[in-house]
Structure 1
Amino acid sequence: MVSKLTFLGTGSAFTVGAANWQSNMLIESEEGRRLLIDCGGDARLALAERGLEARDIDAVYISHLHSDHVGGLEWLGFSTYFDAGAARPALFIEENKVARLWTNSLSGSMARSGLATLDDYFEVRPVSGDGGFVWEGQRFDLTGMLHCMDGSVPLISFGLRFETDIGRFLITSDTRFEPQRCASLYAWAEIIFHDCETSYAADGTPARSGIHAHYEDLRTLPSDVRAKMWLYHYQPGPRPDAQAEGFRGFVAKGQVFGL
């Protein structure tokens, strides 16, 4: 079963430097196996900071196809492929994103003149958007979150919800502020790791991107919901006092949570 969740980084897509990394996470089992939750462009640096390399990753889950969530897959795939002592990592991903992950994100460099496919680098395990998967005895259920609109087409990022002996956990992944849509999820979960942007204009007004939940909107949630929430995926610079406003707080880079 799973034992702990480590935030390799807690920053937004455009976080720069070792002060923080992009919001990728690591779940470890009691036997010491590792599931990487998203693999952004700086995942190799974040892992190296913790003394880990590609061969230490047994599986990876991808929530959606933006670079801060898939930009490190070329490194992971090539590193394990050319390492005789490494196994192919398992790749859990919503089934409708498998083909686009390869054709739109990875094949340009990894296809090797058409000789290779995604299956050469990863043990691909497609997951239904309304289903889930089991890793090391732990069930994870996919949770579709509205991240943004590509014209008239909704871009869904698949968060994860799961239950262990100590509680019910929700990782939203990237999501807009959708309180009515998420009400049942918020009610179900006992600990919520929630996407939270913290951008403000020079005059102090919120600079909402429309593709992430802004802190100023999250703070309007009922107190019992805020009391469950850890906030992550925030921008560099000063942040509000989340604990003073009833949240559990902003997750720090490297923070570990027992599962």
Structure 2
Amino acid sequence: MKLLFLGSGSAFTVGANNYQSNMLLMDERGRKLLIDCGSDIRFSLHDRGYSYQDITDIYISHLHADHVGGMEFIGLTTFFDPRCPKPNLYLSKDVAAKLWYGCLAGGMQSIGNELADIDTFFNVHKVGRNEHFIWNDIQIFLVRVVHIDNGYFLMPSYGIFFTIGGQKVFITTDAQISLDTTQEYYENADIIFHDCETSRFPSSVHAHYKELVDLPERWKNKMWLYGYQPGHLPDAKSAGFLGFVQRGQIFEFYNRVPNPAISTAIDR
């Protein structure tokens, strides 16, 4: 099983050096689960030699454009291409409740002489609270994370936790450090892919590198960082992390300890 980072940058990554942090989980038979589908997706897929035709399964963590802005592209291209099956879409029930009218309906509701809805384009699988979905015989559990809490409501946002090759993997997606909700996953995971802001002007809605360096060594020692801003990056390895994920980096999972994921070649 492989995890490919189509990009490893933040929402506002610019230029050709990186893309938004969307990923492909791929098995040896070629099945692919797209983890988030941001507005860069047509370009980041093309750079890796893929296209919309390869996307049959999608997971959406939350409704910001770097995670959902490419859904209109995937939905319309697969709908109008008779070679493409309708993609499966997995997401939490509360995210699903706002995806269509909050993000997609404006550009997708009218097709020809018909009115469309989200089921026109996707096979929607809504995941309930404290539940999971199954992709390719893998149980993928949703982990509620704190991303934006504006004082009035907590924006629905979910990382994922799953086991492949005998190894437990935690992908935070966009998240602040909130030990009340994530500490058990830090402890139990064999490898962690963690949101990491590196901006000089912290936004307060992402975990910042300066906060992450204060985490216990036992957590940092199994943590890769992604979702960072353009520019100079700190020496994460000397601080105890596994490093910063690079665009195009592939992690191959084997049933071995203490190296749960082997990072393979990066082609930038």
Q: Check whether TM > 0.5.
A: yes
Alignment correspondent of 2:62: 64
* Equivalent residue, structure 2, for 1:254: 248
Number of positions where the alignment pairs a residue of Structure 1 with one of Structure 2: 251
- TM-score (normalised: structure 2): 0.91
Q: Deviations over 1:38-82 (max 9, x none)?
A: 000001100011111111111000000000000000000000000
Structure 1, residues 1-60: CA drift from partner, whole Å, max 9, x if none? xx1100000000001122100000000122101110000000110001111111111100
Partner of 1:204: none
Change over 3 Å in CA distance of 1:178–1:222 after alignment to 2: same
Q: Work out whether residues 139 and 162 of structure 1, in 8 Å CA contact, stay in contact via their aligned partners in 2.
A: yes
Counterpart of 2:82 in structure 1: which amino acid? A
Rounded Cα–Cα distance in structure 1 between residues aligned with 2:14 and 2:202: 20
Structure 2 contact 94–156 (Cα < 8 Å) conserved = no
Q: Please, which runs of 5 or more residues in structure 1 have no aligned partner?
A: 201-206
2:215 aligned with 1:225, yes or no?
Answer: no
Among 51, 55, 60, the alignment partner of 1:53 is 51
The 3-state SS of whatever aligns with 1:154 is coil
Matches within 5 A, 1:29-178: 29-112=27-110, 115-178=115-178
Amino acid at match of 2:157: S
Corresponding letter in the other structure for 1:157: S
CA contact (8 A) 1:129 1:144 kept: no
Q: Deviations over 1:132-189 (max 9, x none)?
A: 1111111100000000113320113111000122411000011012234422111010
Q: Deviations over 1:92-138 (max 9, x none)?
A: 01012213100010000100077101001111111113111111111
Task: Tell me if 1:242 matches 2:218.
Answer: no
Q: TM-score, normalised by structure 1?
A: 0.94
Task: Give the Cα separation in 2 of the matches to 1:150 and 1:7.
Answer: 30
Q: Which amino acid aligns with 1:255?
A: Q
Partner of 1:213: 207
* AA in 2 matched with 1:98: A
- Helix, strand or coil: the match of 1:75? helix
SS of corresponding position for 1:153 = coil
- Partner of 2:193 in structure 1? 193
1:145–1:157 Cα contact (<8 Å) kept:
yes
Percent identical residues: 46
Residue correspondence of structure 1 range 1-20 to structure 2 within 5 A: 3-20=1-18
Distance (Å, rounded) in 2 between the aligned partners of 1:175 and 1:5: 20
RMSD over equivalenced CA pairs, Å: 1.1
Ranges in structure 2 where 5+ consecutive residues have no aligned partner: 254-268
- What is the distance in 1 between the residues matched to 2:231 and 2:238? 18
Deviates more, 1:226-235 or 1:49-58: 49-58
